[in-house]
């Protein structure tokens, strides 16, 4: 099935995909109209203008499927514009955020209407599908489909490159390297990871170093974790590195002995697939989404949800011997179920089923 893509976003992107065109998301002059008509009428006119432009774009490019990645106001506009078949992909925070007390009620209503209108709902964990059904007030036609990865690139090895990078970071060869691969934002609780690491070094006597990366990170959160390390006298064992190009991520995983993950809420992260494909052990807290996709048996879970429990497991992981046979099994499982070719085939098949169903209706 040949697929041509027209990308509609607020910004134009540099892409190396021959079958793709793109344009900017419609602009409606919401602020200007609201100054003239007031907020209520201004918002109504702006929404109508956006929907009209979406319909014109749909007709101009002769689109057959509308697929919105990340459920927000844009998904609602596409649903209200009547673009069908409508496919929605949720990525965790877009729906988990609706359970928080400060979530915008207007946006929640828009998300509910968009989800209720969709023809196919895609998520990477079963609990997100259940939450979406609850928000929409109906059972959804859904597909459990984590984003696939390139298992040829994400693999064990890269020893020479990893050794060079480790040396450049001033990490001795004998030290254990712990990698925190998630973006540094409050939800991912890097402050607890840092406190646990400090306790593990000071009280557990481990010879370890921890690496964080700045990609899409919150500066305040970075300053907080560095302050904790400085107060505890552990700063020399902490490395905060700049954004790592995607193609260099496998080298970063090869440099580490294990990864640590400790968020407050989450969907099923692609990081888990990347780590397992590289045969890198994962230490994590337990969240409902992590029971999806048959991957949980390859993780080491923390028995508790505080930095004290995490610290004990950090010490255990540093002093233990990695089960290489289990991680080889994890890699084989990821290749079989989550390679990008598997993802592409399943998504193309889902598109075909939608179009066939529409043709018969």
Residues 253 and 274 in one domain: yes
pLDDT per residue as tens digits for the range 249-282: 999 999 999 999 999 999 999 999 999 999 999 9
* Of the candidates 67, 93, 71, the residue with the CA atom closest to the CA atom of residue 289: 93
Residues 166 and 311 in one domain: yes
pLDDT per residue as tens digits for the range 11-44: 888 877 777 899 999 987 666 666 667 776 767 8
Residues 185 and 141 in one domain: no
Residues 201 and 101 in one domain: no
Is 84 part of any domain? yes
Question: What is the domain range of residue 74?
Answer: 5-149+341-360
E strand or H helix at 166, and its extent? helix 159-168
* Of the candidates 148, 168, 160, 149, the residue with the CA atom closest to the CA atom of residue 251: 160
The beta strand positions in 214-309, using DSSP E, are: 238-241, 258-261, 282-284, 300-301
Grouping H, G, I as helix, E, B as strand and the rest as coil, residue 161 is helix
pLDDT at 32: 63
Residues 245 and 345 in one domain: no
What tokens does 119 get?
């023809």
Count CB atoms within 10 A of the CB of residue 70.
Answer: 14
pLDDT at 18: 73
Residues 214 and 113 in one domain: no
Is 128 part of any domain? yes
Residues 36 and 140 in one domain: yes
Q: What is the CATH number of the domain that holds 19?
A: 3.40.50.2000
Q: Which residue has the higher pLDDT, 315 or 18?
A: 315
Residues 188 and 90 in one domain: no
pTM for the structure as a whole: 0.92
pLDDT per residue as tens digits for the range 121-160: 999 999 999 999 999 999 999 999 999 999 999 999 999 9
Is 115 part of any domain? yes
pLDDT per residue as tens digits for the range 162-199: 999 999 999 998 999 999 999 999 999 999 999 999 99
């Amino acid at each position: 099935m040949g697929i041509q893509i027209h990308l509609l976003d607020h910004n134009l992107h540099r892409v190396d995909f021959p079958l793709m065109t793109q344009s900017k998301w419609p602009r409606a002059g919401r602020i200007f109209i609201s100054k003239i008509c007031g907020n209520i009428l201004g918002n109504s006119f702006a929404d109508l203008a956006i929907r009209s432009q979406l319909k014109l774009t749909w007709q101009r490019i002769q689109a057959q499927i509308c697929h919105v990645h990340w459920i927000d106001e844009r998904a609602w506009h596409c649903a209200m514009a009547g673009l069908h078949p409508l496919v929605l992909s949720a990525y965790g925070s877009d729906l988990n955020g609706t359970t928080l007390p400060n979530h915008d009620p207007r946006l929640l209503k828009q998300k509910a209407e968009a989800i209720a209108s969709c023809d196919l709902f895609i998520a990477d964990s079963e609990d997100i599908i259940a939450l979406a059904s609850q928000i929409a007030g109906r059972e959804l036609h859904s597909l459990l489909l984590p984003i696939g990865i390139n298992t040829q690139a994400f693999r064990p090895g890269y020893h020479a490159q990893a050794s060079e990078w480790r040396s450049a970071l001033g990490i001795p060869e004998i030290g254990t390297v712990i990698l925190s691969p998630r973006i540094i934002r409050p939800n991912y609780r890097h402050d607890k990871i840092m406190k646990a690491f400090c306790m593990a070094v000071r009280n557990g006597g481990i010879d370890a170093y921890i690496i964080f990366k700045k990609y899409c990170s919150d500066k305040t959160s970075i300053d907080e974790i560095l302050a904790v390390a400085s107060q505890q006298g552990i700063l020399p064992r902490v490395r905060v590195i700049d954004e790592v190009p995607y193609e260099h991520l496998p080298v970063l995983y090869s440099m580490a002995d294990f990864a640590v993950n400790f968020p407050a809420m989450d969907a099923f992260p692609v990081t888990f697939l990347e780590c397992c494909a590289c045969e890198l052990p994962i230490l994590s807290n337990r969240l409902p989404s992590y029971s999806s996709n048959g991957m949980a048996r390859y993780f080491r879970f923390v028995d508790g949800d505080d930095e004290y429990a995490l610290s004990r497991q950090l010490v255990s992981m540093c002093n233990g011997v990695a089960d290489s046979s289990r991680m080889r099994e994890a890699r084989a499982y990821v290749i079989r179920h989550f390679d990008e070719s598997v993802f592409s085939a399943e998504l193309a098949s889902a598109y075909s089923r939608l179009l066939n169903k529409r043709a018969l209706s």
